[in-house]
Structure 1
Amino acid sequence: MKKVLSVFSVAALSLSLVLAGCGGKTEGQQGAADQGGTAAPNARIGMVTDVGGVNDNSFNQSAWEGLQKLQKDLNLPQENVSYLQSTSDADYIPNLTQFVKDQWNLTWGIGFLMGDHVKKVASENPDAKLAIIDAEVDAPNVESVLFKEHEGSFLVGVVAAKMSKTKKVGFVGGMEIPVIKRFEAGFEAGVKAVDPSIQVVKVYTAAFDKPDQGKSTASQMYDQGVDIIFHASGATGDGVFNEAKARKAKGQQVWVIGVDKDQSLTFGDDITLTSMVKRVDEAVYRVSKDVIDGNFKGGIVWLGLKENGVGLADTSSKNVPEDVLKEVEEYKQKIVNGEIKVPETPQQ
């Protein structure tokens, strides 16, 4: 039977973020955080990325930033926080197994696509501790952290509906998997809550690591009259931003809504309307620290608006008017209070 943990406290998920930038490491190469001071506990925390890579400007990068912050805060030795980068799904089990066989205290698998692989490694190594983002793994030695992406996406849907001039907005997804479907469902529900007449154009690229596909998809959408695109496609979304930047340079008024991280910090607030932030970094930090403190529990945790696990980027006020943000806050409170139940799957 699955053991379901109570959600994190808001305080645990409100750690201040003073995150170091990610170093450029070659694909498949083991990396380590910068030295953060004198050696502290001897715990070692390893992380395996999915195919998007550690510099995906999305959830892999956010997870790594969480470990970098942990290393600095706890003064862990440089080599005690590390990652292995996956270039295909064939790398998942070898990478996970490398950390486990070397007896690292915790091994992270980042992303839904790694669920079955984490399950296999965990079952074959019952004394090892593993954790995963965005997938449920029912094993006593695994802690699964999932997010209510649909709730946060509802809010950026409200922003898109209020800000669109053409009454046509777009959603670019990576692979059609449950976590991305939650993004799609919430976004469309938020748009339609504001104005049911607004058209939502939805395209899946079937990849999280193809910026060229993201760029061509965005180009087609903008050509169709879409003026705001929300992407949930990992590094593929870099191409969406690149296309928007090219069009903005020619005077076309188009926007992108970022995902997972505050992507205005990477791509600029001239093209990033807002971002739907998933606090992957804080979740990775908390679970990893639990292991170091001897408090690892295993089980499944869900984080939504109520738990401060998802939400709008703090920089949203740069481009989103105060009256729109006030309306977003009203919708947020209705979701938190249970007055609005955001769908997890797209409505037919």
Structure 2
Amino acid sequence: MKTKKILSMILAIVMACSAFLMLTACNDKDTDKTTKADGKTDTYEIALITDKGTIDDKSFNQGAWEGVVQYAKEFNKTHKYYQPTDATTNDYIAAIELAIKGGAKIVVCPGFLFEVALYDMQTKYPAISFIILDGAPHTEDYATFKTEKNVVSIFYAEEEAGFLAGYAAVKDGMKGLG
């Protein structure tokens, strides 16, 4: 039960940061770059695995990383991110396993690109908690979807963002399409 509460708090922070990034993604201003977490120990309790992007990509990776950092600071947890060498399922699996070997008890995977990798990892590492943003674990051929109790899948309410964007456009004076 304690794990679910921790995962729920991380989920809330990640969603808040992601929402903030969606609202500010079109901003031209250059912001401070986030760097790798500096921990005093060789192990890290929370790990983020990036997809093809970096932790300063002004998208999923950055939003997830900022959520992890905020949660880790608030609850005095160690944290680190891992960037796979390439964008393949095998590279994602290797990065996840590296994070687990580094001591991660919670692994955050930002995006649907991790669905197949997590399908295997969730049963291989039942003591590890996984968070996947905008995806759910499944086989490569999409034949089987399975989410174990150690995985939390977070899906964004994209229709709400679309509605708000449309409302903002009309409020800003847009009267026609195209």
**2:96 equivalent to 1:96:** yes
Matching residue's letter, 2:63:
S
Query: C-alpha displacement at 1:127, in angstroms?
Result: 2.5
Equivalent residues of 1:84, 1:95 under 8 A apart: yes
Equivalent residues of 1:22, 1:65 under 8 A apart: no
The corresponding residue for 1:84 is: 82
RMSD: 3.2
The alpha-carbon distance between structure 1 residues 150 and 104, as it changes in their structure 2 partners (threshold 3 A), is: same
Q: How does 1:19-34 map to 2 (within 5 A)?
A: 22-24=33-35, 31-33=36-38
Equivalent residues of 2:44, 2:80 under 8 A apart: no
Matching residue's letter, 2:163:
F
- Report the Cα distance in structure 2 between the residues aligned to 1:100 and 1:55, rounded to whole angstroms: 23
- Report the Cα distance in structure 2 between the residues aligned to 1:148 and 1:127, rounded to whole angstroms: 29
The corresponding residue for 1:147 is: 156
* Number of equivalent positions: 143
Q: Give the secondary structure class of the aligned counterpart of 1:71.
A: helix
The corresponding residue for 2:23 is: none
The corresponding residue for 2:73 is: 72
Query: C-alpha displacement at 1:43, in angstroms?
Result: 6.8
- Report the Cα distance in structure 2 between the residues aligned to 1:95 and 1:81, rounded to whole angstroms: 15
Give structure 1 stretches of 5+ with no counterpart: 1-7, 25-30, 168-194, 200-348
- Report the Cα distance in structure 1 between the residues aligned to 2:16 and 2:94, rounded to whole angstroms: 34
Query: C-alpha displacement at 1:84, in angstroms?
Result: 0.6
- Report the Cα distance in structure 2 between the residues aligned to 1:96 and 1:48, rounded to whole angstroms: 7
The corresponding residue for 1:107 is: 107
TM-score by length of 1: 0.36
- Report the Cα distance in structure 2 between the residues aligned to 1:136 and 1:92, rounded to whole angstroms: 15
The alpha-carbon distance between structure 1 residues 34 and 44, as it changes in their structure 2 partners (threshold 3 A), is: closer
- Report the Cα distance in structure 2 between the residues aligned to 1:16 and 1:104, rounded to whole angstroms: 23
- Report the Cα distance in structure 1 between the residues aligned to 2:127 and 2:149, rounded to whole angstroms: 10
Equivalent residues of 2:44, 2:103 under 8 A apart: no
Equivalent residues of 1:92, 1:114 under 8 A apart: yes
TM-score by length of 2: 0.66
- Report the Cα distance in structure 2 between the residues aligned to 1:85 and 1:43, rounded to whole angstroms: 15
The corresponding residue for 1:302 is: none
Give structure 2 stretches of 5+ with no counterpart: 1-7, 18-31, 138-146
- Report the Cα distance in structure 1 between the residues aligned to 2:148 and 2:16, rounded to whole angstroms: 31
Equivalent residues of 1:33, 1:68 under 8 A apart: no
